[in-house]
Each structure stands twice: as C-alpha cells, then as structure tokens.
Structure 1
Amino acid sequence: MATQRVASVPSDLPVSLADVRAAHERIRDAIVRTPTLVSRTLSQITGATVYLKFENLQFTAAYKERGALNTLLQLSDEAKAKGVIAASAGNHAQGLAYHANRLGVPATVVMPRTAPITKVTQTEGHGATVVLHGETFDAAFAHARELEARHGYTFVHPFDDPRIIAGQGTVAAEMLDDVPAIDTLVTPIGGGGLISGMGVVARASGRPIEVVGVEAELYPSMYNRLHGTDMPCAGDTLAEGIAVKEPGGVTSVMVRELVDEILLVSERNLEEAVSLLLQIEKTVVEGAGAAGLAALLAYPERFRGRTVGVVLCGGNIDTRLLANVLLRDLARSGRLARLRIRLQDQPGQLFGAIRLFDQERVNIIEVYHQRVFTKLPAKGLIAEIECETRDRAHLDRLIAALRGAGYEVGLVEPG
C-alpha cells in the first residue's frame, strides 16, 4: 500500500478546489447530479463499504459532459461563434457535441475511420459535424489540430486542460458532499483528467482520503510515466475508454502530486466487474466505467475495511459486446458450459449421455456431433454439448455422473 498523502493541494498546481467549486456553480443546472449509493452486495463481496457514483446516468451516459460544459461556458463570444473542435471516438465527443449544440456553439469532432458507426451516429445526433480521418486516434488528433489552425476553432482537449480537469473534479465534490464518510476514492485513469480533478477535491477535504487510480493492464501509460517503466500499451481491451498510450502533461504532474497509487487490472477483472454491475446493481457500465470495481475485485485486501467511493464513469458499451461479456461470465461461473464427450461409434452412445443430462436436470442448449473433423481414430467420435446448470456444483455433479457411466469428459474452458 502506498503512503497516504496529507490533506492539502500544492499551490503551484493549475487547478484548485476553488476552480472545482466554481465549475460546479457553472454546470450544475445543466447536468445530472447523479446519485452516490451504497451497494450492500458488492460490499459483502469485496469486504469494503462500497459507494457507487452513477455517472452512467448522465444524458450522454458519461461524466465527460462536466469538463466539456465547464470549458464551453468559459469561452469568449468570439470563440463560441467560430466553434469548437475535438478529436475523440468516445464519450468526450458526445459530451462536447451535446452541450455545444444546446448552447448554440458549432462543434466539429474528428474521429478515426475505424470508429464504431454507433459512436459516429450518436455524435452526429447531438448536432456535431463529424470528420472521419486516419486509421488511428493519433491521426485524427493531428488532423483536428490542423483544422483548428485553419478555421480558428477552439480545440477542446479531452483531458489535458485545467478547465476540463476542474469540471471533472465536480464528480468528487458531489460524492464527498453526499457521503462524507468516504475515505478512499477509486477512479479509472485514461488521460488523467478525471483523477486529477478528483485528487484536488480529496486533498482539499481537510482529512486524509486515499486516491487510487486504475488502469487496464494492456494500457499502463500513466503507471509507466510515474514509475519510469516501459510496459507496452497495446491490445484490444474492454476498457477502450481508458486505452490511452500517452497521458497528458498537465495531468501527469497532477497525478504525481495527488494520487497515492495506481493499480492495474486484467481483462478478466474488467469483464467480471461489468457483469456484476448489471446483475447486482441492474446498471449498464462500459469497461472503463467498471475499472474501479475491477480493482476492488482484483485487490480485495488492499481495500478491506475501507469506505470506498467508486466512479462508474460511463455506460456506453456496444450491446453485442455486453452480451459476449455476460455469456463468458456465465461460463466461468459454471452456469453455462460446453462439455466435450468422447463416444464410441455404437448405437445408443449419444442417447446414453443425453439421458444423464436429463437425470441431473441439466438443460441442453446445443449438440455438436463430430465424426469427420477429429484426430480420433475412424471409429471414435466427439460430441460437444452446450448446457445450462444452476451453479458450478451442479455442473460438477453432471461431469461426475458422465464419468461414472464410463464416458471420457472434458470441459471446454472460456478465455
């Protein structure tokens, strides 16, 4: 565990508690004051007292609205008339587009051509002009800066701007106003804007509050920056909202001063967190938004006995991806399984196996009966049976019954 820092904010940082409070005064009538609610079940699972901040209930389903709106409201009339521009393929684009449209400010968002069509259409639906450019975010970002210079737009950075940071810090201000007992804040880190603002509020609270950041193992960019490591930042992560290869310069300084520790979580932790939030809290959270809970699941001893505030920072997840996450979680828990059963090429072999499924009251979903594409001898064959069970113990009883009847059985494990 990292050494807990004193309750103060260094005076040379670009964002103060006064900036966060001023931001809240500006934006509070145009955003949702999302609830901070205790989760009794997640508290029992993790051993901590867990409070969830439901930022996925914002109109655009993410906290990013706060910083975007705080920035828009501080622009000059001339800047508003010329319009704003951003590079984003996610929540920043939608938050900026929504509030710019509401305020009558023209908005342009540059996205890579690889951006999901749903995010493109959602951003356009909020009134922004979407420009598709390049195959990567870096290419889109560079093009946005070119358009900024060419047309005189105001560039609104997704995280590395004191106005953005102050707006994001209003999340922590609301949390600690609503639940003063919170002694630990667990926050996802992408570029670092949210946790920088959260850290300012925590350090200015007048009491020790731990500030813990969470990154996906595949994208440990802020961890690398602060620890001098060189772990790769690449791969397909469920938490694409925090898959940032280079954290901000402003935010790196603030995180170094204000954050106690950064934890890395696996894809499996992220999947479990997304699934638990839907099953237990009945709330849809994207991978990045579930990173805080993923840390509590991955490091239970680190948080045991603490009163923890977790930010569910976004809920924009593709429905097909969500379905895949839920099915994989069912498989890992034993409630959904695929059994590979070796059969002899004799009448009644498959029937005998299926009869045991009936005896154990296991529901069969699919049967794959393979004779040709197998490495077994010509008289050998494989049946793969997908099934539903009540829990892991129920599945174990089925496997024991099949083996007891002389069948060779293997469990096809999920990733």
Structure 2
Amino acid sequence: MELPSPADVRAAAEAVRPYVRRTPLLRTEVDGRPLLLKLEHLQRSGSFKLRGATNALLAGDRPSTVVTASGGNHGLGVATAAVALGVPATVFVPTSAPAGKVRRIEALGATLVRHGETYAEAAAAALEAASGPGVRHLHAYDAPAVVAGQGTVAVEVLAEAPEVDAIVVAAGGGGLAAGTSLASDGRTTVTVEPERCRAVHDALAAGEPVDVAIDSVAASALGATRIGRVPFGVLSTGRLAPVAPVLVGDAEILAARDRLWEDFRLAVEPAAAAGFAAWLAGLVPGRLPCLVLCGANTDWAPQP
C-alpha cells in the first residue's frame, strides 16, 4: 500500500496554492489560556476538503469525469475543484446528508445522487458507478493524494506559527489527521471525535481498522464507520509524530460551537467545534496548541 510522505504534503501545498485560500490564523486566549485558531471554515467550499480534492484531481492525467461519495463536505470540495478544473462531477450522498450541504453541491452544478442511509452505502454505490475510460473515483479520505492535500492546512499553520506544539483536528475517516501528522514536523497531532463516532480512536486502540457505529450531531462530517487504510498506515506507525486520540460528547461539541459564536462570532458546524470542546475540557496537550476549525457547511442558529 502506498503511503504519502512529508515531501508529498509539501508538493501538494505548491500544487493547490492557486486554487485554495490561505485561511487566517487567529492568535487569542480563552479563560486565560493561549491558543491559536486556524479559520479553515473560511475556505472556499466551506471546509478543508477542497485541498485534498484539488490535489487529487491535479495528480496524473486530468479525468473526463470524477465520481465520489460524501456526507457533504467532501462533495462540496470535489464539486468546487471540478468547476475550477473544468471536470464534470457526480457526487453520491446518503439520504441523511444535511439539506444545506446537498443544496450547495447541486448549486455548484455537480450531478447529485442520493443513495442509502449511511456514507458507507453511498460510497459503495459511487465506487460501482465509477467505471469506464477517463472516469476517476475520488475517495473522501482513503487516497494518498487526498491525505497529502489535507496536510496543507498544517503547512500553513507552521509557516506562520512555528512555535505551536500541538495541532488539533476533528477526525472522521482520518484524512485530515494523517495529513496533519505528515506535515507536523514532530509535533503532536490531536485527533478529536465524538464519543459515538470514533473510527480513528478505536482503530488506534485495536491496532487495526475496525467498524464502529455512528450516532452523533457531527456525523455528517465525521461519520466514517471505519478509518481509511492510508490514514491508518500513517497514524498507526507513530514514526513521524505522536498522535493523541481524544473523545468528546455531543453536548460538549454543541456548547463549544455556541461559545465560538458568542466569544468570537465564528459560525462553524458541529464537527469543527470538536477540537475546541476537547481543549475546553483540558484534554489537549501542549502549551500552545492550534485548533483547526475545519468547516462551516451547516444551517444553524445558536441557542438564545
């Protein structure tokens, strides 16, 4: 199995530069403790997923069509990259995909197919549909070029704030976590997942990928039932950087999301608040961590 390298992440940073935003890094403190917030929810397409999708589509020969499956954010990333590169896109989503994400995918001109109740069912249908010459199947997280592209978030963080000693990311199938680990230059990667949506945590605990049940307010973004083989290969070795898996509850995630709004007027989806929830709970190691606010593709209002 081919695994991406730190050099692949550096190459991806150069490749995607014309197509992605260099998102802001906010230095602040909360409750008297310093931290940095990487405002990746301000990325084009509304999440970091544009980075991996763009890098994967730029790799090799340009496909005539790209087919993918998504809970929403990856589909938006692929659809946005496909428009920029002039490639038709078909996105399979489960029937549980949030209406706001589905609406935005269709608005970008991608062909949208609703299939199955879970991401896994949509992914199986997408793989079956991706046949024929010139058709590229693009996995949401289990592909070396996608992982390398996601790691460009951390490249930007460390270029601007090399004193950071931990990078905190929400984890689903593990693509962002693996890319971050590759780019971290020895710093700890903290993976944060909901207690009932924990593919990365349980795989690292078991020493192999395992199937998990999904039931979380953040499931549309973090709802992988199994870590990808490529991300697991990167994260499980620990040869490049330490990985600290953390779990938080849904109530903590929603409270953290609302606090990001109240304190900073940052509107993010639940998955993007998972890292902040872990930090508020004292579960994040390091004196100066950077929390990646990974996405904002949701329609919500904070509680009054």
Check whether TM > 0.5: yes
Partner of 2:205: 227
How far apart are the structure 1 equivalents of 2:224 and 2:91?
18
How far apart are the structure 2 equivalents of 1:221 and 1:215?
8
Deviation at 1:135, TM superposition (A): 2.6
How far apart are the structure 2 equivalents of 1:115 and 1:267?
18
Deviation at 1:136, TM superposition (A): 2.4
How far apart are the structure 1 equivalents of 2:145 and 2:173?
14
3-state DSSP class of the match of 1:289? helix
Partner of 2:245: 262
- 1:299 equivalent to 2:282? Answer yes
Contact 2:67–2:137, Cα closer than 8 Å, also in 1:
yes
Partner of 2:20: 31
How far apart are the structure 1 equivalents of 2:15 and 2:212?
40
Would the alpha carbon gap of residues 103 and 51 (structure 1) be closer, same or farther in structure 2, given more than 3 Å must change? same
Would the alpha carbon gap of residues 43 and 193 (structure 1) be closer, same or farther in structure 2, given more than 3 Å must change? farther
Contact 2:196–2:214, Cα closer than 8 Å, also in 1:
yes
- Superposed CA offset, 1:269-309 (max 9, x none): 10111011111111111111111111111225x54x61001
Percent identity (aligned): 37
Contact 1:148–1:155, Cα closer than 8 Å, also in 2:
yes
How far apart are the structure 1 equivalents of 2:85 and 2:75?
15
- Match for residue 318 of structure 1 among 292, 295, 299: 299
Mapping of 1:44-63 within 5 angstroms?
A: 44=32, 47=33, 49-63=34-48
- Match for residue 95 of structure 1 among 77, 81, 85: 77
How far apart are the structure 1 equivalents of 2:88 and 2:191?
34
TM-score by length of 1: 0.68
Size of the aligned set, in residue pairs, is 299
- Superposed CA offset, 1:314-353 (max 9, x none): 011222xxx2xx32xx5xxxxxxxxxxxxxxxxxxxxxxx
How far apart are the structure 1 equivalents of 2:218 and 2:174?
18
Partner of 2:55: 70
TM-score by length of 2: 0.92
How far apart are the structure 2 equivalents of 1:86 and 1:239?
18
Partner of 1:246: 226
How far apart are the structure 1 equivalents of 2:118 and 2:3?
30
One-letter identity of the residue aligned with 1:17: P
- Higher radius of gyration, 1 or 2: 1
3-state DSSP class of the match of 1:158? coil
How far apart are the structure 2 equivalents of 1:13 and 1:149?
22
Deviation at 1:146, TM superposition (A): 1.2
* Structure 2 residue runs without a partner (length 5+): none
* Structure 1 residue runs without a partner (length 5+): 1-11, 331-415
One-letter identity of the residue aligned with 1:67: G
Contact 1:182–1:307, Cα closer than 8 Å, also in 2:
yes
3-state DSSP class of the match of 1:273? helix
Deviation at 1:310, TM superposition (A): 0.6
How far apart are the structure 2 equivalents of 1:116 and 1:183?
35
Deviation at 1:196, TM superposition (A): 0.5
One-letter identity of the residue aligned with 1:51: L
Partner of 1:121: 103
Partner of 2:116: 134
After the TM superposition, which of the residue ranges 258-267 and 274-283 deviates more from structure 2? 258-267
Partner of 2:137: 155
Contact 2:97–2:220, Cα closer than 8 Å, also in 1:
no
Would the alpha carbon gap of residues 231 and 124 (structure 1) be closer, same or farther in structure 2, given more than 3 Å must change? closer
Deviation at 1:37, TM superposition (A): 1.3
Mapping of 1:167-182 within 5 angstroms?
A: 167-182=149-164
- Match for residue 198 of structure 1 among 161, 173, 180: 180
After the TM superposition, which of the residue ranges 61-70 and 148-157 deviates more from structure 2? 148-157
Q: CA RMSD in A?
A: 2.0
Deviation at 1:194, TM superposition (A): 0.4
3-state DSSP class of the match of 1:51? strand
Deviation at 1:89, TM superposition (A): 2.6
- Match for residue 289 of structure 2 among 308, 321, 328: 308
How far apart are the structure 2 equivalents of 1:211 and 1:113?
32
Would the alpha carbon gap of residues 212 and 89 (structure 1) be closer, same or farther in structure 2, given more than 3 Å must change? closer
Deviation at 1:134, TM superposition (A): 2.3
How far apart are the structure 1 equivalents of 2:265 and 2:154?
23
Deviation at 1:209, TM superposition (A): 1.6
Deviation at 1:151, TM superposition (A): 6.7
Contact 2:197–2:216, Cα closer than 8 Å, also in 1:
no
How far apart are the structure 1 equivalents of 2:131 and 2:13?
31
3-state DSSP class of the match of 1:213? strand
Deviation at 1:62, TM superposition (A): 0.3
Would the alpha carbon gap of residues 313 and 244 (structure 1) be closer, same or farther in structure 2, given more than 3 Å must change? same
